[in-house]
Amino acid sequence: MGSALDKLDHWIAGSAVMPTGADYMAVTDPATGCEARQLACGNADDVDLAVQAASAAETAWKQIPALARARLFGDLARAMRADSAELARLEISETGKPEAVALAEVENSATYFDFYGGLIGMPAGDTLDVAPDQHVYTRREAFGVIGVITPWNVPLNQAARACAPALAAGNTVVVKPSESTSASTVRLAQLATEVGFPSGVFNVVLGTGQDAGAALVAHPDVSKVAFTGSVGTGRAIGHIAADRIIPVTLELGGKSANIIFADADVEKAVAGSLLAFTANAGQVCSAGTRLLVHRSIHDEVVQKLAAGAAAVRPGRDIGPLITRAQLERVQEYFKIAESEGAQAVTGGTVSVVAQETGGFYIDPTVYIGVDNSARIAREEIFGPVVLMLAFDTEDEAIELANDSDYGLVAGVWTSNVSRALRVSERIRVGQVFVNTWSTGSVQTPFGGWKNSGYGREKGVEALHHYSQVKCVTIKF
């Protein structure tokens, strides 16, 4: 089966399904500003169809022996690698990211199925020594249908990251990808069907958050929601989940601090810090967008980082911003920065590549000159923009890092192991990177503290968030 995803329909019960309202919307290629394809606009009826299919597939999914389910995961990972050119093409057509980056995303997404396939059938309960005449044990059971709602920045990765552990724990899924970037997720569901996942186990319903997304969260047969996206949407979904008394994983935004101490390897710290705010054109929840530098090396780091940022070429090294609206939002932050008294050491403008191509390209931007109370220090911009702040003491660096509504990631650059341990312990975030900046691996649990959300994706941890405990007591 080829993908033929020029016009995108829902994927429900193992087939492409047209929207009941026959509504479609245009998806834009952000590298050119032109239409990439038409996308089905799902409504509550479409969501109901998908959830019913997922509900009906629960029994068939559970009845497949664990090792046979694990084999399907391996087959899907292999199919993704074999299809990497097409998955990357779809991803590029809606995000504009460079080909090497898209291919790396496909490979990374396949590893979720490698990893969680390997965990299917592993012991998932305990026996408890309660009394001599009782046999007491716990087991972890699936919730049922999981509603997965994903954002546009790394669409295939976000879908695979949530679906692999959800399916491995025995659930079925209905995914509502971002309306800007749905194609690679539909292709993933097609591949799952091709390798033999029973129909209805992996469904994708398309459309806007206000219609399809909200209907998915409100559907009475959805037993848990896994949401990745902005704080505002996460809060709205959290309210509905609270009303329905269902669990929700919220993977939200960040304003992550990246701290360079005077004893750091400056060259490595600058290279890592550049990547931390420019990767994916800064459209990463874990981007290092507040760079705290010890005053003794501050000016040296400003100069080296600005030179590195100026050498990053939009269109070659990084892709565009996702939409015209996002481009305008980042430009608005440029005005806010100026009005607050910040100085752009480099960038602060729409890239010339934007004029050449019609795409939504921004030059990497390094700001200095305002403190941690400025809006550009507190609000997530979601573009390749960093603010540099100087500090004098370790305590001050920790205080600045923690002075944020968010708590997703922190970076620490130092050659002193005691300092690395001390600082890592005191920073209030879900993950700390010492002498590196990355998004971790499939094995490392990922999630936020404070406004960055709760629940965990990745690692063995995620399996706990996609299953619930049952305790059985048998009296002899």
Which DSSP symbol is given to 14? Answer: T
Cα within 13 Å of Cα(444), Cβ side: 10
- Which C-beta is closer to ligand NAD: that of 144 or that of 430? 430
Q: Return the number of the residue (52 or 228) whose C-beta is nearest ligand NAD.
A: 228
Cα–Cα distance, 81 to 127 (Å, whole number)? 40
| CA angle at 247 for the pair 20 and 145, rounded to the nearest 5° | 40
Least gap, CB of 198 to ligand NAD (angstroms): 25
* Residues listed for the chain: 476
Shortest Cβ distance from residue 172 to ligand NAD (Å)?
A: 19
Position among 14, 229, 238, 308 found at the interface with ligand NAD (CB under 6 A): 229
Q: Contact between 153 and ligand NAD (CB under 6 A)?
A: yes
Contact 250, 224 (CB under 8 A): no
Does residue number 150 form part of the binding site for ligand NAD (CB under 6 A)? yes
Of the candidate residues 252, 309, 370, 377, the single one contacting ligand NAD (CB under 6 A): 252
Q: Which of 171, 233, 258, 451 binds ligand NAD (CB under 6 A)?
A: 233
- Rule CB under 6 A: say whether 288 interacts with ligand NAD: no
264 binds ligand NAD (CB under 6 A): no
Q: Which of residues 161-180 bind ligand NAD (CB under 6 A)?
A: 176-179
Dihedral, CA atoms, 159, 165, 167, 173, nearest 10 degrees?
Answer: -40
Q: Sheet containing 256-260: give its strands across.
A: 343-346, 365-368, 385-391, 288-294, 256-260, 409-413, 431-434
**Angstrom distance (rounded) from CA 195 to CA 203:** 15
Residue closer to ligand NAD (CB basis): 239 or 335: 239
Residue 328 bears catalytic tag:
no
Q: Which is nearer to ligand NAD, 217 or 309 (CB)?
A: 217
Residue 176 and residue 462: Cα distance in Å, rounded? 19
- Is residue 40 classed as helix, strand or coil in its secondary structure? strand
Specify the stretch interacting with ligand NAD by CB under 6 A; choose among 20-28, 44-52, 184-192, 232-240.
Answer: 232-240
Q: Which is nearer to ligand NAD, 73 or 152 (CB)?
A: 152
Helix (H, G, I), strand (E, B) or coil at 156: helix
Provide the 8-state DSSP code for 209: I
Assess contact for 310 and 318: CB atoms under 8 A. no
**Count residues contacting ligand NAD (CB under 6 A)?**
29
Q: How far is the CB of 339 from ligand NAD (least distance, A)?
A: 23
Stretch that binds ligand NAD, among 99-107, 231-239, 255-263, 464-472 (CB under 6 A): 231-239
Half-sphere exposure of 318 (CA within 13 A, CB side): 31
Number of helices (H), then strands (E), belonging to the chain: the values are 16, 23
Closer by beta carbon to ligand NAD, 165 or else 253? 253
Shortest Å, Cβ 224 to ligand NAD = 14
From 91, 251, 380, 457, the catalytic residue:
251
Q: How many CB atoms lie within 10 A of CB 362?
A: 27
Task: Indicate whether 237 belongs to the interface with ligand NAD (CB under 6 A).
Answer: yes
By beta-carbon distance, which residue lies closest to ligand NAD?
209
Tell me the closest approach of the beta carbon of residue 356 to ligand NAD, in angstroms: 26
Give residues with Cβ within 8 angstroms of 129, minimum separation 6: 136
- From CA 254, how far away is CA 249, in angstroms rounded? 16
Rounded to whole angstroms, how far apart are CA atoms 130 and 54? Answer: 38
Contact mark string toward ligand NAD, 182..221, x via CB under 6 A: --------------------------xxx--xx--x----
Is-contact 26 191, C-beta < 8 A? no
**Per-residue binding letters, 347-386, with ligand NAD (x by CB under 6 A):** ---------------------------------x-x----
Residues at the site binding ligand NAD, with contacts judged by CB under 6 A: 149-153, 176-179, 208-210, 213-214, 217, 228-230, 233, 236-237, 251-254, 285, 380, 382, 448
Catalytic residues: 251
